[in-house]
Structures are given as C-alpha cells and as structure tokens.
Chain A
C-alpha cells in the first residue's frame, strides 16, 4: 500500500515510516499537516496515518477533508490522546480506525491487513502472512 505518515513529531514519524516500509509498504511522511491535502491532490495514497494533536490544524477536520479530497484514501488516526470518546469522534469523521500511541504493532498489522482486504489489494496472498514473513525474515 502507498501510505502517508503525518505527524509533527520527527522521531515518531521516522520510526513509523520505517516500520511500514519494513512491512512492505511504500511509506512516505510529512510533518506539516497543511501539506497533506496538496499532496493527496497530486498523487494517490491508499492510506494516511494521522496524528490528531498537531499545531496547525484540527485533526478531526483534517480527517473529513482527506475523505472529501480523496475518497479512496483511508485514514487511520494514531494519537497519544486516543480514548473511547476520541475514537468515536474520529470514526464519525470518516477514519477507518483509531490507534493509541505507543503503537501496538501487532494490532496495527491486523488493521493494515483488514484495510488491504477492504481495498482488495491482496487477493492472492493473505496480508497477515505476507507481513509476518517480512517481519521474521
């Protein structure tokens, strides 16, 4: 999958991008959330992972904007503030899932697999086993 990691925290952004890359994804990252919509208009991404607490924009609004600008792009919110209330708001705004920081990679993998299945990107090989192979090789 082509994934855009949006987070203003450089170390976290780099770490997540590296992990996604190792899972076999085409991962990119951006720190300024104002750039996100511009990037999505220029090229297609299957998934955006988005931090909710960013200085320049309201994360929830950005979720809806992403879904409007690029309806085929899915959004997973990754936030240090994730709790049930936030998760409900995020899903209402159009995100696929809401994950808490620090990221539980096992749960993240499952989420990505589910997403791939939804998008029909892994018709031949089940995503989970591919991912596991990469991780243990």
Chain B
C-alpha cells in the first residue's frame, strides 16, 4: 500500500530537511560552544513544538554532566533517552530546578548526545510539548543529536588545542619575564654594591673640600665650594639609587615629600631629555610610617610610566605630582598625573596583573604596577588610577600615616 503524503506534511518534511542541512553546515562551521548551543536551540525550537529546550554539555574534565542529578543527569549517566509524561510523578525529577527558575515542568524528553566514539557529550532536554511528538519529530531530533555530537566533539578538541597553545604561550612568557626579573634583581645587587663603594670616596672628597674651605681665601673658596656642591650632588644621586636598589626593609618614620623630591631628582635627566615638564604641589605631610626604599620604588615606577606617557606627546607633556594629608582619616595621598594618551579602556582591568605590559616587547617587564600595588597594599594602603583615554592618567596612592589605620 502506498502511503499518501499530503502537501502540508510534504512541505514540513522538506523544510525540516533544509533545516537539518543548515544545522549540519552551521555546526561544522563553528567551533565555539556557546555559538553551537545557540544554533541548536534555535533550530530545535523552530521545529519541535515544545515550550523550553535546553542543552546540557558534559564537562570533559569532570567526565560527567555538571548536573548529574535530575532527568537530564539520569539520561547522561545511563546514556538512555527519557520520555516522561508527568515529571512530578517521577522520583528522578528535581523540583528544586522549577522552584529556582519559577517554572512548572509538565512533561520532559531527555535525549543523550554521543560523539563519534560513542562517548556521551551532552543531553538535549525538551520540556512541556504543545502537542504530542510524532515519528518525524523524533527522527528530526535523532538527526540533530547526531550532528550535535559531532559538533560538540569538534568544539572540545578545538578548545583543548587552543587552551594548550595558550597555556604554552603563557608559560613561555612567564619564563622569559621571570628570567628578566632575575637579571634585574642581580643587576640591582651589583649596582647597590658599586654605589655603596662609591659613597665612601665621595664622603672623603666632601670632607677635604670642607677642610680646604677653611684654609683658602676667595676666589678659591668659591671654587672649592662648587666642587663640594657637585660632589654632594653625586653622592645624593648615589644614595637615592641605593635606597631604591635595596630590597624591602622595615617601616620607619619617613618624610614622604622628601622621598618624592629624591625620586624626581633621579629622573631629572630623563624628564629634561624628553622635554617633560614636572609640576610638584606638595602639601605639608605628617611623618608617615613606611619602608622608604619600597615607597620610592613605587614612586619611581609610577613616574617612569607617566614619563613614558607624557614623553610621547608632541612637544613634551607635563607630569604633576600632588601630595596631601587627610587628617580625619589619618591618611596621606599622592597623585601622579600625566597628560599622555591615557589608558585604553580595554586594558584598564588588566594593568595591575603581573607580566601585563603595553610597552614594546623587551622594554617592560610588566611587573612595575603589579609590584607597586603589592607594596602599597602591604602598607595597608591603596593604589588606584583614573584615566579617560585620550586625556591622560592619574595614579593615586593612599597610605595610612600610622601603621594599619585603614
């Protein structure tokens, strides 16, 4: 007997075939899980008269459906489809999901999805059909599950490959930068040693200049005085640098304004060479308990970044340093601003991450801001920034005057 196929069901059949073909093409063309899920759910909901359609994906690392309870979980564990007419009458059904989502499940169909190796990779769950499903519906769903299995498998393979490549690349970057940090630290020690050795002869030279000042007359006195000033300046630079090169030390009562001045003096040459103008507005600050070497390191990091940003500006930019005291909160605040290009919105959330840098490869370790933040937080302080791209950036250090008043 020949089964008559009416024109309506024939049209549905053709449309479904087209949909399946589309699905197959689309599923083969995307490797992103979220995109895949969206495509499948859209096609299924177009074709199958159900109220809700969900795809559960098996977490490969856990080897099981994240949700291995409930009807979907049961289908994942057994690998068998489940067709339940009254969910609330089935003991495997978890009412809590309905409560959680404010939904009322009546009937449910859970179809396990397998990959090409026969391993379960997901469960397609359809809730509350608007009419009974017929044979064509089920065939359509079977085909969808087959495509879906292959696509999920491909997506997994793709994701693993991408992740392993990314991990490998990150590992290489971390290794390179650690190596660079180690080199820097060795260099610091070396420089600290050299400068320590330089301090003594410079102190001797200054001492003899003072002796000479007392035994000669003008104009020699003036000249000796100039030599003394020049040597004293060299000694000051050496001391500032030594302070910086040394590792973190104990917190001592410190005049933070003089730390700021010392640090800017270290950078005088750099500022001048790139025509960067420096504006200091230092209010009176109370003596603050900090580790001067570490705080100087933070100031140096922030000033160097600001210098880089302001130096990129045609004709040279401006860096402003402001310090102020909040007596109510017993904190001091240091603001370092530049009028450079600002921090692009897309990197703002990452700038304090270790090894994150926007500087050209080889010129930054990506550690400066991370280390600075760590140092300030170790002082119970805060390091934050404000930046509107195109309008410069301001880094703000807040420190408690006494230990742990934050």
Contact = CB atoms under 8 A, between A and B. Distances in A.
Interface of A: 9, 11-12, 15-16, 18-19, 22, 80, 83-85, 101-103, 105, 135-136
Contact of A18 (B203, B206, B211): B211
B330 to A, nearest CB: 20
Decide if the interface of chain A is mainly helix, strand, loop or mixed: helix
B211 A22 contact: yes
B211 A15 contact: yes
Contacts of B206: 102
Contact of B252 (A15, A84, A101, A105): A84
Nearest to B255: A84
Nearest to B201: A11
A102 B214 contact: no
Nearest to A51: B200
A102 B253 contact: no
Contact of B199 (A80, A84, A85, A135): A80
Contacts of A83: 252, 292
A52 to B, nearest CB: 13
15 contacts: A9-B200, A9-B204, A11-B200, A15-B204, A15-B207, A18-B211, A19-B207, A19-B210, A19-B211, A22-B214, A80-B196, A84-B252, A84-B254, A103-B210, A136-B214
Interface in B199-219: 199-204, 206-208, 210-211, 214
A12 B202 CA distance: 10
Contact of B202 (A16, A19, A102): A102
Nearest to A101: B203
Shortest beta-carbon contacts, A-B, top 8: A102-B203, A102-B206, A15-B207, A101-B203, A11-B204, A85-B252, A12-B204, A105-B210
Contacts of A18: 211
Given A80-B199, A80-B200, A101-B199, A85 B211 contact: no
Nearest to B200: A9
B232 interface: yes
Interface string B247-280: 0001011100000000000000000000000000
B151 interface: no
B58 interface: no
Nearest to B211: A19
A12 B252 contact: no
B235 interface: yes
A102 B235 contact: yes
B203 A80 contact: yes
Contacts of B199: 80, 101
B200 A12 contact: yes
A19 B209 CA distance: 11
B232 A102 contact: yes
A135 B214 contact: yes
Given A16-B207, A80-B203, A105-B207, 6 more contacts: A15-B211, A101-B199, A102-B203, A102-B207, A103-B207, A135-B214
A18 B204 CA distance: 12
Contacts of A101: 199-200, 203
Contacts of A80: 196, 199-200, 203
B207 A85 contact: no
Given A84-B253, A85-B250, A85-B252, A103 B203 contact: yes
Contact of A12 (B207, B211, B214, B253): B207
B204 to A, nearest CB: 4
Nearest to B228: A102
A135 B216 CA distance: 11
A61 B308 CA distance: 48
A21 to B, nearest CB: 10
A22 B207 CA distance: 13
Contacts of B253: 84
Contacts of A16: 207
Nearest to A136: B214
A98 B200 CA distance: 17
A82 B167 CA distance: 49
Contacts of B235: 102
A105 B206 CA distance: 10
A17 to B, nearest CB: 11
Contacts of B203: 12, 80, 101-103
B226 to A, nearest CB: 16
A74 to B, nearest CB: 21
Contacts of A136: 214
A79 to B, nearest CB: 10
A95 B353 CA distance: 47
A107 to B, nearest CB: 12
Nearest to B210: A105
Contacts of B232: 102
B227 to A, nearest CB: 13
A83 B250 CA distance: 12
Contacts of A12: 200, 203-204, 207
